[in-house]
Amino acid sequence: MTGGFLESWLGGAVLTSTPIFYAALGETIVEKAGLINLGVEGTMLVGASVSFAVASSTGSVAAGLLGGMVAGGLFNLLLGPLVIGWRANQLASGLALMFFGMGLSAFYGKPFVGSSLDGLRSFPVPWLSSLPFIGSILFKQDLLVYLMIPAAAGVWYLLSRTAWGLHLRAVGEDRLVAYAAGSRTGLLRHQALFLGGILAGVAGAHLSLAIAHTWTEGLTAGRGFIAVSLVIFAAWSPLRILPGALLFGGTLALQIQLQARGAQVSPFLLDMLPYLVTLVVLVLLRNSSRGRMPEGLKEVFESPREGK
Amino acid sequence: MAEAQKGWWLGWGASSVSLALSLVSALVLFSVLLVTNGKNPLDTYASIFGSTLGNGFGFSEIFVKMIPILFTAIAVALPARLGLVNVGGEGQLQLGALVAAAAALAAGTGTPSWVGIPITLVAGMVGGALWALVPAILRAKGWLNETISTLLLNYVAIRVVDYFVFGPLRDPSTSNVPQTTKFADGFLWPAFAGRIHLGIVFALVALVLFAVVINRTRWGYEIRAAGSNPLAARRHGLPVTAYVLLVLCAGGAIAGLAGTGEIMAIQGRLRPGFSPSYGYLGFLVAWLAGHRPLRILIMGFLVALIATGGDSLQIDQGLPSSTVSILMALILFMVLADAWRPDRLQDRIQAWLSAKKRGSA
Amino acid sequence: MLRKTVFLAATLFCLAFAVPWVSADTIVGVLHLGPINDAGYNQASHEGIEVLKQNIPGLKVLEAENVPETADAERVMEQMISKGATIIIAQSFGYLDPALNVAKKYPKVTFLHAAGYKLAPNLGTFWGNNFEAMYLAGIAAGAASKSGKLGFITAFPIPNILASINAFELGAKTVNPKVTTTVTYNNSFVDPVKEAAAVNALGDAGVDVITMIVDSPITVVKTAEARGIATVGFHSAALKQFAPKGWLTGVAYTWGDLYTKEVKAIIAGTWKSSHVRGGIESGYLTLADFGPSVSAETKARIAKAKADIIAGKLVIFQGPLKDNNGNIVIPEGKAGGIELLDTTNWLVEGVIGQAK
């Protein structure tokens, strides 16, 4: 059962980065459409609580996962009418969505606090898992971890090689032109929100079913906001989300590992690492993300108009 | 539309009615939740409003909560006029509190109030401003958007405070519990009605200053100009970079006062976790208010009211504490959606008034 | 006519004095830091309140959960008082200053605070001495560990937690003098994701028995069970069901008797403000049932140690004791007692981790 430091750390990093990965992947789709959802935290919480509740009540993890995905998708959609129909400010609306998700998940999840599930178990991939070193890091995880690379590839394909993706990106760059060209901008953006919500729901489900094996209020502990940062980090490219998530997950895992191996560093300083490292790397990689922000998003950040 | 000049009060009236209607619709939506959980909505609302508006202490508590929210809202609104998004209020208030605490502890117990309180003010502003400095520089250089940098630094700030409170600033006499020594009386901000303290004076002064500067001075004019068209502003020679640094650091300084007030007036010492998300609540208030000073006052009051009234949901009605977040979110949705279109409302009222005039003529 | 009136008056007079120990609707307000069904600290408190309600019929209780340790706590207390509460039980350390502030305003209301270190005429504190029970649990852990490595997952390095860690290690050492306890801090009393990561990291480092002080220990227990790591629970005996194979024992708070004693004294008017502290003999804490793998020999050892502690024959923190940096913290001939709950700022030799 014992493993070397490196093995243990990297294995932990992969597991920890999974929820952040899915949430960030979902948010990438949303932001490519020119929207920003600061409320991903709320969507993740809804996904986590619903998937746990469904899995608890039905005894089926698959049903739980499905429930979390659907709930996440529907919840994320709430941003649509607010931000698209009523043209409310996106940043504040996202925060409002976060409060809503926090409250709803806590409210409906209450009967499930203090209970536990086996949930999503890890299983070894035959043959690959007996490879030295990388065997235990990469191939003794749960289903959602294994699906990370296919998911990233799938979203990349969707965004860059399908007609739908093309239309979506056009909407994110210049809504007026896209509209003139015949794209149904409102529908497309709602679809992006739904898809993004499904992925955020998966992220939440992984937290409650695979990592924590329980539900408590506020399970996500700020990971939704980290996911939003990661999208910028990855310069809105689905393929870059994975390394970004691993970086963050890696530093999160490092903190615990160092303590478990008796390192003489203050736990508070260690705890700051993930955020500081993300900040530093973002600054170092600034040139590669410059110029990649969807034009539609720029509006949201660069001109918070008076009144609206 | 010559009729539109009818009176500024018409716009005002329409806005207020619209706000009121938004509130009512949120309450109606919330009633659905209440009814499905076996509660009588009228009962519930009576206890929320009764415990806050109908009760002397409860009413004063709204203002107690409003003080830090006003500070953090200005911290968001000022940079927003330049087009910057400061999500770092939470971290800036933590650092403001930390530096103010350190100053109070270093300056010693004999300090009289007229020296002590200004020390806390200066220290708090310095702490908050410093925490906003790095994001400001990163943004000014065009290296990193301030939305992300301020957000990430919020998480770092909490741990920085933890480090000091568990370490160098820990009070040795209170049995090694993670908190600082109690501040000497000379630094504490006095309260005068219930727990409403001196901070309310500072907050209102800050709000007035914000209003005056942004609307009536040349700096304010230039900031607003640069905010709506940065390119043109630069071409005209406006020192946009300097303004970026200025507004973000000034915002940080004001947020720092939110933290300072909480520890100097309410807590009496610095402890981890003293802020129940005042930074984010301020962010919400600023955006709800469109970054305008008077509206910040109104929205600040509203948000503080809900946050305060929420306790009665638990104590009186036996609903879980999470219900407050749901109510808050519903109200926010309604207000953000501008669901009752004040401009259309205004038109309708005008049309009705003119019809009446014609009818009686 | 006169006889009837006198009789009636006399009856009423007697009735008025007949129930001296429950005044009409005594209302108790309770503040919890977290949710009351967390199978941990808050649930233990809530279960104690249920026992209180059973023991004193006619008592009305207002409970508030998730009350943060900020300015809000004062407001919640004030609201309960405005609803008629005459006794407030503040069940978390961070409520001390708010409670003291409110106590000053309402001298007729009595406040009971958990683990506080300051008193007021109408505010008293209470706590169970967790480290005595942790010592006994440590014996079970030391006996069960094959690798000689124990793990302790918690939130912050505060005195009463440090004292428990030390007692745990000392207890384990009586069985295996070379045993070590590795400590990890999560910087939060509630973060199931970090807790799971800690279990895995400790497991990878060779730990085979884990204990914890976090608010809701389910995640730790479950994750440990899945990895075949044995568990010593904390806060609530309800945890045993989550680790059918690996459960050794646990430390559970059972506040019911303490609450009952204090509240009865308050109602009777005999209550005086003090720091009520109880060790393993008081019943404020119990050692949970043993799991299937605990040997009879270990059980006997624990029983003897418990008896010795109660009799005063066994002193857990008997000097000389060194910390894990080699400094002497309790010199030869001296011993540390219950005050260590509030003063410990070191970790004993054999513990791997930081005390600051």
Tens-place pLDDT, residues C225-277:
888 899 888 877 777 888 888 888 888 888 888 999 999 999 898 999 998 88
Q: Where are the domains of chain B?
A: 57-346
Q: Which of A118, A208, A257, A258 to mutate to test the interface with C (most CBs of C within 10 A)?
A: A257
Q: Which of A247-256, B120-129, B146-155, C78-87 has the highest mean pLDDT?
A: B120-129
- Classified as helix, coil or strand, C316 is coil
* Per-residue confidence band for C2, with pLDDT thresholds at 50, 70 and 90: low
Cα–Cα distance between C295 and C287 in angstroms, integer? 16
ipTM: 0.84
**pTM of this prediction?**
0.85
Q: Which of A121, A214, A265 to mutate to test the interface with C (most CBs of C within 10 A)?
A: A214
Six token digits for residue A77:
């959609």
Q: What is the pLDDT of residue C160?
A: 82
Q: Where are the domains of chain C?
A: 2-128+255-278, 130-252+284-352
Average pLDDT over residues B7-31: 79
Cα–Cα distance between C195 and B126 in angstroms, integer? 37
Domains, chain A: 16-111+136-301 (1.10.3470)
Radius of gyration of chain B (CA): 23
Q: Rounded to a whole number, what is the distance in Å from the CA of C352 to chain A's nearest CA? A: 6
* Per-residue confidence band for B182, with pLDDT thresholds at 50, 70 and 90: confident
Tokens 């209780």 locate to: C61
A301 contact residues in B (CB cutoff 8 A): 83, 85, 145, 147
The CATH class of the B57-346 domain is mainly alpha
Chains that touch C (3 or more CB pairs under 8 A): A, B
B177 contact residues in C (CB cutoff 8 A): 93, 117, 158-159, 342
Q: What is the pLDDT of residue B327?
A: 86
Q: How far is CA B268 from CA B182, B184, C96, in A?
A: 6, 9, 12
Contact A302 B230 (CB under 8 A): yes
The CATH class of the C130-252+284-352 domain is alpha beta
B321 contact residues in A (CB cutoff 8 A): 106
Closest CA to C137 of C278, C283, C282, C294: C294
Give exposure, A267-287, as e/b (b: 16+ Cβ within 10 Å).
Answer: bbebbbbbbbbbbeebeebbe
* Per-residue confidence band for A308, with pLDDT thresholds at 50, 70 and 90: very low
A229 contact residues in B (CB cutoff 8 A): 148, 151-152
Residue bearing the bigger pLDDT, C182 or B109: C182
Domains C2-128+255-278 and C130-252+284-352 share a fold: yes
* Per-residue confidence band for B325, with pLDDT thresholds at 50, 70 and 90: confident
Q: Decide the pairing of beta strands C285-287 and C247-253.
A: antiparallel
Average pLDDT over residues C77-99: 90
Residue bearing the bigger pLDDT, B221 or B288: B221
Residue bearing the bigger pLDDT, B224 or B354: B224
Contact A114 C197 (CB under 8 A): no
Six token digits for residue C295:
């040997």
Reply yes or no on whether the pLDDT at B163 is more than 50: yes
Q: Mind giving me the DSSP string for B317-331?
A: T---TTHHHHHHHHH
Q: Kindly report the CA angle at C289 between C285 and C294, in degrees rounded to 5? A: 125
Interface subset of C 128-167, CB within 8 angstroms of B: 156-159
Q: Closest CB to C354: pick one of A8, A221, A264.
A: A264
Tell me yes or no: is domain C2-128+255-278 CATH 3.40.50.2300.
yes
Tens-place pLDDT, residues C276-289:
888 777 878 888 88
Contact B228 A229 (CB under 8 A): no
Contact B178 C80 (CB under 8 A): no
Average pLDDT over residues C176-182: 94
